[in-house]
Structure 1
Amino acid sequence: MKSFVALIRREFLEHKGAFFYAPLGLVAVVLALALFAFGVNRVDFTTTGQLATVVPTWVFEASYAGLAGAWLLYLAFVLFFYCADGFAADKRNNAMLFWKSMPVSDFKVLMSKLTAAITLLPGTVFAVALISLALLYGVAYVASMAAGLGSGELLSAIVGSFGQMSLLFLAVVAAGLLWYLPYMALVGSMATAVGRWAIPLSFFVPALISSVEWVALGGPHPFATRTWEFLNARSQLPIDTDYVGSVLDGASNWNTGEFTTHFLSTYDWVQAGIGVVVAIVLMVAASEYRRRSAAN
């Protein structure tokens, strides 16, 4: 167990640039943009301005949703490149020989990388993202105070809003990591065999399989096959976008309980479970390839 924890910690130390330092730099960018946006009245807090026709906490909730969405895109981006690079890093720096001397099995090494990809690494990004979101709320509240709209009632409302949306943000991140786990395992297993070539292959292989199905079974074009339809459906996290849209439009207040209940009830737990099994099978296959290739 100690070796497994050490392996996960190693992944963080080797990739803290993308998962810690770069997000901290983005926090500074977010803070600067927020100060600029509210400083030049891009968002008007006056009673006759943009917020006169919406619920009081709308600007906070809309800003949170927008920034949280941007952080989710960043997380997806860095996790993809982490899986395409981190699973092959041992071959480049000869660390494989060190871990084998402990000894640590190839399966444990690869599982530590996959575990880091769904726990410590995204957890670090999530923590930094919360800092940026808290700073955004703080700037927005100071701007509302400068416009004469600040009050204890508004402060209490936005603190509650921040807490609710942070819980939702955490739930979406966790659900997304579980949902896309087989994709991360697939990219990682390919990287074990072909290194960074896993990046283009992760796009080429699905297109090739879909094209083969099109040639064999027919259809309008290679991207109108059952394979492509499944991959497209499996690539979309089930989220109630209509409810989110109504909040962003200012039509209703955010209700985390209502959204989370609907989100969890519509989440495809069967597909998520199948994805976990597929991820483990891919790690077993990759570890066998890694063991045999190292032996040769």
Structure 2
Amino acid sequence: MKAFAALIRREFIEHRGAFFIAPLSLVGVLFGAAILAFTVGRVDGKFSGAMFTVAPMRVYELGFLGFSAAWCLYLLGTLFFYCADGFAADKRNNAMLFWKSMPVSDFRILLSKLAAALTIFPGVIYGVALLSGLLLFGVAFTTALVNGTGSAALLGNIAEVYGQVAVSLLVVIVCGLLWFLPYMALVGAMATAMGRWAIPMSLLLPAIISTLEWVTLGGLHPFDTATWNYLSYRSTFPLSEEGYLDTWFMSGENFAAGAFVSDLILRFGWLQVGTGALFALIVLYIASEYRRRVNDN
């Protein structure tokens, strides 16, 4: 277990630039820009504070939810490139013989990389997202104080919104990781064999498979096949239209994490999650066997 934890820690050390340093730097730049905008008069503090008197909760809710959605997209993109790069890093930097000498199987090494993509990296991004919301919290309340509309009640209301969105963001990240797990494992497995060529191949592979189905079984066009429809379904996070978010946005009520999470869980395809996890383990095992046999020869 200690060896497995050490492998995960190694992944964080090697990729902390994308998952820790860059997000913190981005938060620092955005926070500095916000402060500078107020201090040099680019933003009217009285007007901004007045917004918090008209719809204080809605302004902060939309702001924090917008930041959360942006960080989820950032996490999705960085995990894709991590899986396409990290699974081939040992072979690329000539460290393969060193890791082959360790009493750890190739399957456990690849599993540690996937575990890092599911735990420590999303955890860091989640922490940065919470920091973004906290800084937005400070900017919102400070603006209200400058305008003379700040109060203990407003502070408590903003804190409640912060907690509601933070819980919802955690659930979205966990569900998103489970939903996109087979893609992450497939890209990592391809990277084990192809290296960084796994990036373009992972984008071309769905089109190739769908085209082969169209040629053999027929259809209107290559993107009107059962394969393409299924991959499109698995590539879309199950936050369907006319769900809680649409209802909440039109209602004007405060954002409720319990209602959002319940709606998400009810719409989630848990059978798909289970089959995706099984698929991920299978492709990782195949990749580990390829890695072991190729390097033994």
Tell me which interval the TM-score lies in, with the shorter structure as reference length. over 0.9
Query: Normalised by the size of structure 1, how large is the TM-score?
Result: 0.94
Match of 1:16 in 2: 16
Contact 1:58 1:250 in 2 (8 A): no
Contact 1:30 1:136 in 2 (8 A): no
Match of 1:189 in 2: 189
- 1:57 match: secondary structure: helix
- 1:220 match: secondary structure: coil
Q: Does 1:44 align with 2:47?
A: yes
| Partner Cα distance (2:33, 2:251) in 1 | 22
- 2:126 match: secondary structure: helix
Match of 1:272 in 2: 273
The one-letter amino acid of 1:294's match is: N
Contact 1:58 1:248 in 2 (8 A): no
Query: Normalised by the size of structure 2, how large is the TM-score?
Result: 0.93
**1:231-286 deviation line (CA, Å, top 9, x unaligned):** 00111111255432454567221011111111112211110011100000010000
The one-letter amino acid of 1:254's match is: F
| Partner Cα distance (1:224, 1:240) in 2 | 21
Give the percent of matched residue pairs that are identical in Structure 1 and Structure 2. 52
Contact 1:182 1:275 in 2 (8 A): yes
| Partner Cα distance (1:43, 1:21) in 2 | 35
CA displacement at 1:42 relative to structure 2: 8.7
Q: Does 1:251 align with 2:286?
A: no
| Partner Cα distance (2:71, 2:47) in 1 | 25
Specify whether residues 164 and 86 from structure 1 end up closer, same or farther in structure 2 by C-alpha distance, changes over 3 A only: same
CA displacement at 1:124 relative to structure 2: 1.1
The number of equivalent residue pairs is: 293
| Alignment map for 1:192-203 (pairs within 5 Å) | 192-203=192-203
| Partner Cα distance (1:195, 1:249) in 2 | 47
The one-letter amino acid of 1:40's match is: V
The one-letter amino acid of 1:230's match is: Y
| Partner Cα distance (1:241, 1:36) in 2 | 38
| Partner Cα distance (1:248, 1:14) in 2 | 41
- Computed over aligned residues only, the root mean square deviation of the Cα atoms, in angstroms, reads 1.8
Contact 1:179 1:272 in 2 (8 A): yes
Match of 1:212 in 2: 212
| Alignment map for 1:74-89 (pairs within 5 Å) | 74-89=74-89
CA displacement at 1:33 relative to structure 2: 4.1
Unpaired segments ≥5 residues, structure 2: none
Match of 1:283 in 2: 284
| Alignment map for 1:151-230 (pairs within 5 Å) | 151-230=151-230
Contact 2:60 2:137 in 1 (8 A): yes
Specify whether residues 199 and 45 from structure 1 end up closer, same or farther in structure 2 by C-alpha distance, changes over 3 A only: same
The one-letter amino acid of 2:276's match is: G
CA displacement at 1:130 relative to structure 2: 1.1
The range that moved more, 128-137 or 169-178, is 128-137
| Partner Cα distance (1:250, 1:101) in 2 | 61
CA displacement at 1:51 relative to structure 2: 5.3
Match of 1:103 in 2: 103
| Partner Cα distance (2:46, 2:86) in 1 | 42
| Partner Cα distance (1:95, 1:196) in 2 | 17
Contact 2:45 2:146 in 1 (8 A): no
Specify whether residues 43 and 64 from structure 1 end up closer, same or farther in structure 2 by C-alpha distance, changes over 3 A only: farther
Q: Which runs of 4+ in 1 moved over 4 A?
A: 36-39, 50-53, 246-250
